[in-house]
Structure 1
Amino acid sequence: MGALLYRVGRLSFRRRGLVLSLWLAVLVASGAAAAALSQESTAVGSAILPGTESQQALDLLKERFPEQPVDGASARVVFVAPEGGTLRDPGPGATLQKVIEALRAAPQVAHVVEPVEAGVLSEDRRVAYSEVTYRVSGDKVTDEARTALTEAADLGREGGLRVEVGGDALEPQPETGLLEIVGVAFAGLVLIVALGSLVAATLPLLTAFVGVGISLLTITAVGGVINLNRDAAVLALMLGLAVSIDYALFIVMRYRNELVAGRVPADAAGRATSTAGSAVVFAGLTVIIALGGLAVLGIPLLTEDGLAAAGAIAVVVLVALTLMPALLGFAGRRVQGHGGRFLGIFRGPGAGSGSTRTLGQRWAELVTRRPVAMVLIAVAALVVIAVPATDLRLGIPDDSTAAEHSTQRKAYDLIADNFGAGVNGPLIAVVDAAGAGGAQSVAEQARAVILDLPDVADVAPAAVNGRGDTALLQIVPDSGPASEATENLVADIRAQADQVEAKTGVNLYVTGQTAMNIDSSDRMGEALLPYLTIIVGLALVLLLLAFRSVLVPIKAAVGYLLTVAATFGAVVAIFQWGWLSGITGIEDTAPIYSLMPILLVGMSFGLAMDYQVFLVSRMREEYAHGAEPTDAIVGGFRYSARVVTAAAIIMISVFLGFFLSADLSLRLFGFTLAAAVLFDAFLVRMTLLPAAMALLGRRVWWLPRWLDRVLPNANIEGGQERPETTTPRLPTFGESVS
């Protein structure tokens, strides 16, 4: 691979105009496709989870109640009369009626409840809400229908009422433009300070713009052909932006080192692509496999998110290997600059050439002198941070987690304060009496049983279909849809359903958006351990191939598990327990978004392997060329620690840019990935890893002779780009290094 990448880098450097033109053409073509095919993305909560009880019940309702849009989107429009008045007064009442008429005339609307006639009024008659049901699901509500909904609300506000709107019909699309700018701006600042050259700092940003731009435009175009949930593009942006800058940075830094070593620019570009580029290929491949592996879980949301993000990583890897050498051809020696002094990592243009002791080298010397203490400190810190993870609860964001200033959150709070939190998330019990008869009587029996359960505010009388073989009951819990009490209520109803079925032979199911969210969270939780097992197994195999060592993969996998556990702990403490709310601004705690743990496992695996590859590959290169084990660790840190440190800070800054969002889901993902990078880069890869390697000494590179003969040589450290330059074979344990 090293020889091929050397030729790719050198050719891209020499044919830089052609390479740049081709990538710009791909960018323009992607933009044209996106403009021609783009459409609204699917809302997060609209995805179907096949095989769950709530989905089975929903399918049954579609069959038995064809006249009702049981899976249609809904909106709750809340009306508040002016202070001192009521909604029964002539003025406010007339305005309310105008809004109701506008809602009924809106596109895709199937049914609108008139709140005054239905008696849905607060005790003081100042607050009421109307349930608006649509003929289509949330992912198919058009922009025209959403606009009509907001215009109807504005009509009420113009008439003197306070009007707030919630529900999945008004599903917002996350605004990430400012967040991208903040993250990239800080990343650019880090690059300028670290590299000491405006030219060198600009190149990774240019490749990120091209790679991520092509990825997002392609996802938009694909979304015009098949429905994609909105998280797919956001996660591709979040991960692709950080990774693309880092991969480009690795190549730029190696190019600068090669220039310092005396190579001409074309050879330096080829050598940088061969060495750092080999690590980029391997690191990118691990990310792609990990994210693509989400498809094997059979959960549509995860499949979409994983494939979209994996595709973005594939693009940015190709851009880094071809466009970056081309841009280096335009920049030439101007990338050398004057050397940065960021955190003491760079000491002039010759940093890393052997003339000075870098901060990374001094840190490695400290760690390898006190390996036992460093291992204990790192492990203890990660375990303590991981403790809150034992209380992890999963859920799906709803209007209760929306930004405080949003109309969705205001509508939720008004309903909860005046009618009870459970009204925001009613449950539906479905009685399937096909072949048994008597759906009405069984439904009434079930209603009586459910009313006696804890946390039940009300159960509406049964509604029976025309054939009399199916009935449904609307259940209003006392607690909100995301509460643990509501989860327990669903479990209690299903336990009673088993008894009903045993006595009558009639099936009783629980569905509704709240039940579907609970089932979705359970399904995600069940998939977490199998996926984590797959990822750890994948790490062992890939690292065995990369480093031809048995112990290096084991240490990497253990460190990765510690990273995941610590990240879960930090997320629970901040988002679920509300710790540090004065600093983070997260005052309203909620269960953790059920997609997050699995996505964290996949994404953090890729990020962890990035740092593992870039640090250990340089150590292996030093060891392969005759350095003693401890000297190889220190030497590898001398060349790699500074770029990994800068790369980690860039990733953290990009991810924390999303923490500025008002959307809780974006804040959660941004914080989670930033925490994962922080723990893995600085505690695991730059502390625990070298300390453990120093303890093991030469044994860390042990590989059985039979396995040495069987495994292909991936040449992750490069060095085979020219026939006369070969990489020495690493000795098996017990051999000496000559």
Structure 2
Amino acid sequence: MAELLYRLGTFSARRIGVVIGAWFAVLALAVGGFLVGFGGLTSSFDVPGTASGDVIEELQERLPEFSGASGTVVLTTTDGEAFTDEQKTAIGERIADARDLPDVADVIDPFTSEVQRADQAAQLEDGRAQLDAGAAQLEAGQAQLDAGREQLAAGQAQLDGARAQAVAAGTPADMLGAFDDQQAALDAQVAALDAQQAQIDSSRDELTVESTRLERGSELLSLASGIRLVSDDSSAALVNVAFTEPRLELSEESKQAVMTHFESDPIDGVEVSFSTDIAQGVPEIFGVGEVVGVAIAAVVLLVLLGSALAAVLPLLTAIMGVAIGAVSVLAFSGVVQMASVTPMLGVMLGLAVGIDYSLFIINRHRKQLLQGADVHESIGLANGTAGNAVVFAGATVIVALLALNVTGVPFLGLMGTAGAVSVAIAVLIAITLTPALLGLVGMKLLSRRARARIGQDPATDDTAKRSRPKRELRPMSTLRAIVTVLASAAVLLTIAIPALSMRVGLPDGSSEAEDSSSYRAFTVIEDQFGAGSNGTLLVTATLPDGLDEDGVLENQVLVAQTLADQTDVVAVAPIAVSDDSSLAAFQVVPVEGPNSLSTERLVVDLRELSTLPDGIELGVAGQAAINIDISEGLADVLPLYLAVVVGLSLLIMILVFRSLLVPLIATGGFILSLFATYGAVVAVFQWGWFGEVLGLHSTGPILSFLPVILVGILFGLAMDYQLFLATGMREAYVHGSSARLAVVQGFRAGRSVVIAAALIMVSVFGGFVFSEATIIRSIGFGLAFGVLLDAFVVRMLLMPAIMHLLGRSAWWMPRWLDRLLPDVDVEGAKLERRHPIA
């Protein structure tokens, strides 16, 4: 590998135009692919096979009109007073026109809904009054009927007495016919009373049925009383927008069309804002914070490399890599569904590793030039030595990122693949374009002062005479090593403590920028309609077979009352029943917002109810439930992913370091820094520590996929620094230094470039901390802080101290395994022997 990279570096340095032209051709192809294949990004996330996903699939089959995405348009009066009739009319017209927008299924007029609610309440009251009047009429009729029966009974008694007297007096039988006629008349009257009684009984049964329906309807209306679309003071109103497309398939254009429709031609005195379901779009890829981060990286490069020209080269190669990587990834967005954060991850990694990898090669080349090496020969050697290390370091990062595909989470796997593509491009550019640019600038890479000292004897050099003689390198003391290990571990474990209380979720409107539409909408809904209105749940219930209309209503009341009886439920409203009466849907408003602990408990409690009487089964969906499902799914795959990443990377490191203990030390140190990073992220984004410094105005759960992302990226980057420090130690050890002295020699040889590389990564990642998007902000902070801890605490303090304590045993390798492993010669020692610097 080293010899191949040497030849590639030499070729690139001599064929400058070919290499640079080839990369610009690649960029042109990538841009062309982007123009043809870009299909937009989504701000939604999903994990297949979740409980909420099953509910959505069931809705698509039985209640398709409720399976699409939804959002809320929040209208408020600018003066805080109630909406005027003119404003209501204008809003109604705007809502009616919105139903014709693309992918819009329905738009609910809040004022019409409130009128309908009032009409329903009035109808119930009228119905109750009519039922009461009907019951009174029935009672009066029953009383009249009972009086008639009493009169008929008296008449029957008189008739029976007269007949008995006549028979006793010996009245002839032919004269008793008159009594028969009277009896027939009485029987007819009794039959008439019986018929009236039957009619009254039938009316009473109908009245009972109607009364039962009325009471059930009244009960449902009462359970839904907490759900309002117009605030109590009539200064705010919610316009619910239902889309035909599911949440993950709804295009950005359709959401933008809704926003444009309600924002254009503003209604006088009415302010419009939108929930995150509509307004959360694609974050800005490169902003002021990112520019500041790159500027800080440029300063670090200038200090390390000593000239502005040398400092510019890594930035140029990194920008080229980011441009190619970003447009290449976006070119596939028309083929696969791509989350908005996916290209951002590629930009972060492309900038950071692109600058670092180019820096490693340039720094090696610069040192060789100062020793008097020929330009082209030095470029080849730098590419074969430092470039060889870059390839293996990049391979570690790529493996860690590609391993995200084993999680089974599509958007995570795509993010990992996009990041791996960006890193691979950064590696290729570092070992081809960097040598070409170095060949282009030649000796101008060095400052005039540095070029003046090339080939001079340090003993006669004025600067050397004025400088202090270097102290002889000695191993650190064992006591210092022990103290360093204990102190470093204690610091990392202390920082990790907040991680014990980590909660994961997806950001809601409260975490958006304070001047954003989503934040205004979230706060208005919370203040005017209650916090739970921002996190409503969609609950489905499977109903028994063969139900008639009354049976459906009875089961709706049963389910609604069961839901309302749960802790932390404000209101429940039935919203639909399927055509075959097999599925009913309900809207449930919790007490608190979508990311609260109480709402999370409510979702769990509702699912644990599982089966109600008559085999009724509940399902829970809605944004809050979806967030919970995604978070739980990602938490479940984290151990598997960690095992895969660590396992594959251990194999790479065993191959590179030819040691069993050094990879284990590196991995153990990474785990400490990882949990410390988790702790810092929790302390800042969940607890709110130093939130004002970073511009955070609210706290909440940690981004659900952040722990997984941090594992992949930080492990790869941590192994980069491990590689550049430990290979120097191994090189010193195999060249005859004692194990403990080799630790110091390797550390001194690589510390300056590792410090610079770490500072560059921290500054680049740190620039994204000030992004407007909370997702990008938390990822940037986690990566920046993770690199800071791992590079300066683990790699430069903990790892050398443990290596000192282990001594020779750190490089132990079973002979049989040593014979099986190929010699990759990462440090390029064999190459240097074949091509010594003159």
TM-score between both structures, scaled by the size of structure 2: 0.81
**2:86 partner amino acid:** G
Instruction: Identify which range, 369-378 or 209-218, moves more after superposition.
Output: 369-378
The answer to whether the 8 Å contact 2:81/2:233 transfers is no
* Partner of residue 807 from structure 2, selected from 672, 685, 697: 697
Residue 252 of structure 1 and its aligned partner are, at CA, apart by 0.4
The answer to whether the 8 Å contact 1:546/1:716 transfers is yes
Instruction: Give the aligned partner of residue 400 of structure 2.
Output: 290
* Partner of residue 111 from structure 1, selected from 91, 94, 106: 106
Q: Deviations over 1:454-487 (max 9, x none)?
A: 1101110262100111111111111101111100
Partner SS, residue 106 of structure 1: coil
Residue 441 of structure 1 and its aligned partner are, at CA, apart by 4.3
2:482 aligned with 1:372: yes
Instruction: Give the aligned partner of residue 89 of structure 2.
Output: 94
The answer to whether the 8 Å contact 1:76/1:131 transfers is yes
Shift of the 64–146 alpha-carbon distance from structure 1 to 2, 3 Å rule, reads: closer
Instruction: Give the aligned partner of residue 463 of structure 1.
Output: 576
Residue 433 of structure 1 and its aligned partner are, at CA, apart by 3.8
Residue 210 of structure 1 and its aligned partner are, at CA, apart by 1.3
Shift of the 684–287 alpha-carbon distance from structure 1 to 2, 3 Å rule, reads: same
Instruction: Give the aligned partner of residue 219 of structure 1.
Output: 329
Instruction: Give the aligned partner of residue 6 of structure 2.
Output: 6
5 Å-filtered alignment, 1:185-264, equals 185-264=295-374
5 Å-filtered alignment, 1:322-361, equals 322-337=432-447
Instruction: Give the aligned partner of residue 129 of structure 1.
Output: 238
CA distance in 2, matches of 1:463, 1:32: 48
2:152 aligned with 1:39: no
CA distance in 2, matches of 1:418, 1:360: 72
Instruction: Give the aligned partner of residue 662 of structure 2.
Output: 552
Instruction: Give the aligned partner of residue 595 of structure 1.
Output: 705
The answer to whether the 8 Å contact 2:695/2:770 transfers is no
Instruction: Give the aligned partner of residue 565 of structure 1.
Output: 675
Partner SS, residue 332 of structure 2: helix
Shift of the 363–139 alpha-carbon distance from structure 1 to 2, 3 Å rule, reads: farther
The answer to whether the 8 Å contact 1:440/1:462 transfers is no
5 Å-filtered alignment, 1:334-733, equals 334-337=444-447, 370-433=480-543, 441-461=554-574, 463-497=576-610, 499-500=611-612, 503-721=613-831, 724=834
The answer to whether the 8 Å contact 1:195/1:337 transfers is no
Shift of the 29–485 alpha-carbon distance from structure 1 to 2, 3 Å rule, reads: same
CA distance in 2, matches of 1:102, 1:122: 24
The answer to whether the 8 Å contact 1:3/1:722 transfers is no
Partner SS, residue 23 of structure 1: helix
Residue 265 of structure 1 and its aligned partner are, at CA, apart by 1.2
**2:557 partner amino acid:** E
CA distance in 2, matches of 1:358, 1:489: 70
The answer to whether the 8 Å contact 1:248/1:320 transfers is yes
Q: Deviations over 1:11-42 (max 9, x none)?
A: 11111211111011101111111112212112
Instruction: Give the aligned partner of residue 150 of structure 2.
Output: none
Q: Deviations over 1:597-642 (max 9, x none)?
A: 0000000011101100111111111212112223222221222110
**1:581 partner amino acid:** G
**1:424 partner amino acid:** N
CA distance in 2, matches of 1:434, 1:615: 68
The answer to whether the 8 Å contact 1:367/1:687 transfers is no
**2:603 partner amino acid:** V
Residue 419 of structure 1 and its aligned partner are, at CA, apart by 0.7
The answer to whether the 8 Å contact 1:229/1:301 transfers is yes
Instruction: Identify which range, 298-307 or 575-584, moves more after superposition.
Output: 575-584
Q: Deviations over 1:197-246 (max 9, x none)?
A: 11111111111111111110101111122221111101011111101100
The share of aligned pairs that are identical, in percent, is 41
The answer to whether the 8 Å contact 2:79/2:269 transfers is no
Instruction: Give the aligned partner of residue 85 of structure 1.
Output: 81
CA distance in 1, matches of 2:235, 2:366: 70
Gaps of 5+ in 2: 115-228
The answer to whether the 8 Å contact 1:99/1:155 transfers is no
**2:18 partner amino acid:** L
Partner SS, residue 639 of structure 1: helix
Residue 349 of structure 1 and its aligned partner are, at CA, apart by 8.4
CA distance in 2, matches of 1:362, 1:24: 49
5 Å-filtered alignment, 1:118-197, equals 118-119=113-114, 120-142=229-251, 144-155=253-264, 157-178=266-287, 179-197=289-307
The answer to whether the 8 Å contact 1:280/1:317 transfers is yes
Shift of the 381–367 alpha-carbon distance from structure 1 to 2, 3 Å rule, reads: farther
The answer to whether the 8 Å contact 1:440/1:464 transfers is no
Instruction: Give the aligned partner of residue 74 of structure 1.
Output: 70
Q: Deviations over 1:346-394 (max 9, x none)?
A: xx9899x998999999999668772111111111110100000000100
Shift of the 674–62 alpha-carbon distance from structure 1 to 2, 3 Å rule, reads: same
CA distance in 2, matches of 1:358, 1:642: 19
The answer to whether the 8 Å contact 1:196/1:338 transfers is no
Shift of the 628–407 alpha-carbon distance from structure 1 to 2, 3 Å rule, reads: same
The answer to whether the 8 Å contact 1:138/1:169 transfers is no
CA distance in 2, matches of 1:643, 1:310: 24
CA distance in 2, matches of 1:332, 1:546: 32
Partner SS, residue 545 of structure 1: helix
Residue 445 of structure 1 and its aligned partner are, at CA, apart by 2.1
Shift of the 310–254 alpha-carbon distance from structure 1 to 2, 3 Å rule, reads: same
Shift of the 84–190 alpha-carbon distance from structure 1 to 2, 3 Å rule, reads: closer
Q: Deviations over 1:239-285 (max 9, x none)?
A: 11101100000000111122223321111111111111111111100
The answer to whether the 8 Å contact 2:399/2:649 transfers is no
The answer to whether the 8 Å contact 1:205/1:245 transfers is yes
Instruction: Give the aligned partner of residue 61 of structure 1.
Output: 59
Residue 403 of structure 1 and its aligned partner are, at CA, apart by 1.0
Instruction: Identify which range, 52-61 or 30-39, moves more after superposition.
Output: 30-39
**1:323 partner amino acid:** L
- State how many pairs are aligned: 710
CA distance in 2, matches of 1:108, 1:393: 35
The answer to whether the 8 Å contact 2:407/2:637 transfers is yes
Shift of the 161–462 alpha-carbon distance from structure 1 to 2, 3 Å rule, reads: closer
Q: CA RMSD in A?
A: 2.5
Partner SS, residue 107 of structure 1: coil
**1:448 partner amino acid:** Q
Residue 534 of structure 1 and its aligned partner are, at CA, apart by 1.9
Residue 587 of structure 1 and its aligned partner are, at CA, apart by 3.2
Partner SS, residue 461 of structure 1: strand
Shift of the 143–53 alpha-carbon distance from structure 1 to 2, 3 Å rule, reads: closer
**1:4 partner amino acid:** L
Gaps of 5+ in 1: 341-347, 727-738
CA distance in 2, matches of 1:5, 1:305: 29
